[in-house]
Amino acid sequence: MKIRTLLMACALLAFASIAAFAQVGRIEGDVIKADTKEPIVGAEVVIERTDIKGSYPVKSDKKGHFLHAGVPFVGTYTVMISAPGCEPTFLTGIRPDREQLKVELRPGDGRKLTMDDVKSTQASMKSGGGGAPQKQISEAEAKKQQAEYEKKRKEIEEQNKKLQADFEGMKKFFESGLAKMTAKDYAGAAADLNEAAKLDAEQYAIWANLALALFNKGVTDFNESTKDPARRDPAKQAFNDAINASGKAIALTEPKLADPAKAPEAKKQMVTSVKIKADAEGLLAKRLGVMEMVDPAVKDYQQIAEMAELPADKLKYQLAGAEVLFDSGKAEEAVAAYTAILATNVDNPDALYKLGLAYASVAKFQESANTFQKFLDRAPETDPRVPEVKAVLKDLVVGNNLQPPKSEGKKAPARGKKP
């Protein structure tokens, strides 16, 4: 029996834009009381950019430490520090990503400095006047900082170039993979999408489409295995790889479910990915005898049944889970699953048909006959299973000396899916 490739296509999402590394640095240090090692908690530290306008205020923590890790790397700064009961001070010519600053505050009036105060103090010091103490940076230290800055800038530029190259390469592999999948070259599609995933492992669209390509490759290999048994192992591998790829897509989707703005789209993505995973697990169990995949498949079908918004979709996934149990030889569990489905879908011919078979598999022949009669009462005469069920029902009654089940009469044609 051949199985079909999935004809649906995963909704292709726009790539998350790859932002170049922001060229930012950090300014940090410790504030202590002068001539002691006692930290000053809650000291106000105002980091002012002096080449262009920019202000970055922070406060020292309980250890007297302060940190701002988001200041633009290209820039020079003046750092003004004040605290209650202390004389303020300032440091000039500060660049990010240098050594930590050590600031000592002496007792004072606790006032706060402004940039005008700093400029006034600097002007006064140039003319020989007094002013607040400040840290002067030597020419050698300034050159060292400039060299470090240039080195870091070049590193960031190289990182940005690599990111851009990776993005272009990923995009090329992704588009090639989709084109090959459209052409039903599933092995080629999987190879290209794998390369795309190596370049950017955080894209849901890559993993979802990779899972789909691998699933379809597994179906193709399995169908060919009827002629060439050597294709069974590649089919198993493809289905297992599809499960892994689906797992990556699911992991990227789950965090979005908690965000009200992202949840609707994330829910659709989750259903798509879990279904591919469940289908791969189900085929491994039903067609390739990998029995450890039965329970995961049933669990995954149940998950998407619970997420389904339309009753028809909910029923479809419940039936799929029950079918995995039945086709894998777990007839008792299948009886329970189909019975549960019929509790809320009493006229469903698919569940009645499979429940009749499941009862027969566990030698509950009277229950099987009764269920098959219900199927005949509800299924339209055009249902291709009707002649088969009539013959089976007759054999059940005669061969097992059963009480012929009573017909309830034909009901309105039910809209059951075709087998």
**CA nearest 102: which of 26, 41, 34, 50?**
34
d(C-alpha 402, C-alpha 270), whole Å = 48
Mean pLDDT, range 195-200, rounded to an integer:
92
Angle (CA) 66 72 76, round 5°? 80
Residue 133 has pLDDT above 90, yes or no: no
Residues 166-195: pLDDT tens digits?
888 899 999 999 999 999 999 999 999 999
354, 340 Cβ separation under 8 angstroms: no
| pLDDT, tens only, 244-301 | 999 999 999 999 999 999 999 999 999 999 999 999 999 999 999 999 999 999 999 9
- The per-residue b/e assignment along 19-40, b for 16 or more CB within 10 angstroms, e otherwise, is eeeebbbebbbbbbbeeeeebb
Phi then psi for residue 88, to 5 deg, are -70, 160
| H-assigned helices in 225-291 | 232-253, 263-288
Closest CA to 303 of 283, 281, 286: 281
- The strand pair at 77-82 and 24-33 is best described as unpaired
Determine contact, residues 267/258, Cβ cutoff 8 Å.
no
44 within 8 A of 81, measured Cβ to Cβ:
yes
Tokens at residue 309, please? 């918004």
- Is the pLDDT assigned to residue 416 strictly greater than 50? no
Say if residue 35's pLDDT is above 90.
no
Residue 128 has pLDDT above 70, yes or no: no
62, 155, 293 from 336: Cα distances, Å: 62, 63, 19
Predicted TM-score (pTM) of the model is 0.66
How confident is residue 23, by pLDDT bands cut at 50, 70 and 90? low
How many percent of the chain have pLDDT more than 90? 65
Distance, CA of 245 to CA of 83 (rounded, Å) = 55
